Amino acid sequence: MLHLVLTPKNISVDTNGGCVENIANIMSNKLSILTGDCNVLLDTLDENSVDCCVTSPPYFGLREYDHDFQIGTEATVTEFVNNLCDIMDGVRRVLKPDGTLWLNIGDGYCNTNGYQRSKKGWDRTAREGAQANDRDLKDLLNEGYKVKDVLGVPWKFAFEMQRRGWYLRQDIVWSKPNPMPENVFDRCTKSHEFIFLFSKSHKYYFDLAAIKTQSSDGSLANPRSVWTVPVSRFSGAHFATYPPELIEPCILAGCPEGGTVLDPFAGSGTTAGVAIANNRRAVLIEANANYVDLINRRVDEIAGLKANPLFTFE
Q: Which residues bind ligand SAM (CB under 6 A)?
A: 37-39, 56, 58, 65, 69-71, 239-242, 265, 267-268, 270, 285-288
- Parallel/antiparallel/unpaired status of strands 115-118 and 121-124: antiparallel
166 backbone φψ class: left, alpha, beta (φ>0; ψ -120 to 50): beta
State which residue, 6 or 115, has the beta carbon closest to ligand SAM. 6
The least distance separating ligand SAM from the CB of residue 270, rounded to whole angstroms, comes to: 3
Q: How far is the CB of 204 from ligand SAM (least distance, A)?
A: 22
The least CB distance from residue 214 to ligand SAM, in Å, is 28
Cβ partners under 8 Å of residue 249, min gap 6: 211, 223, 227, 311, 313
CB-CB neighbours of 85 under 10 Å: 17
Phi, psi of 281 (to 5 degrees): -90, 160
Q: Which is nearer to ligand SAM, 20 or 240 (CB)?
A: 240
State how far the Cα of 14 lies from the Cα of 46, in Å rounded to an integer.
20
- Please count the other Cβ atoms lying within 10 Å of the Cβ belonging to residue 134: 10
> Rounded to whole angstroms, how far apart are CA atoms 232 and 243?
6
Nearer to ligand SAM, 95 or 105 (CB): 105
* Minimum CB distance to ligand SAM, residue 292 (Å): 11
- Give the shortest CB-308-to-ligand SAM separation in angstroms: 20
Cβ closer to ligand SAM: 254 or 267? 267
Q: Answer for the pair 192, 175: CB distance below 8 angstroms, yes or no.
A: yes
Tally of CB atoms within 10 A around 193: 22
Q: Kindly tell me which of 241 and 278 has the beta carbon lying closer to ligand SAM.
A: 241
Of the pair 29, 270, the CB lying nearest ligand SAM is at: 270
Q: Give me the least distance between CB of 11 and ligand SAM, in Å please.
A: 18
Least distance from C-beta 160 to ligand SAM, angstroms? 18
In the chain, which residue ranges form alpha helices assigned H by DSSP? 38-41, 77-94, 137-142, 153-163, 244-254, 270-277, 292-305
Residue 303 near residue 10 (C-beta atoms within 8 A) = no
Residue nearer to ligand SAM on the CB measure, 69 or 167 = 69
- Tell me the residue number closest to ligand SAM, measured at CB: 267
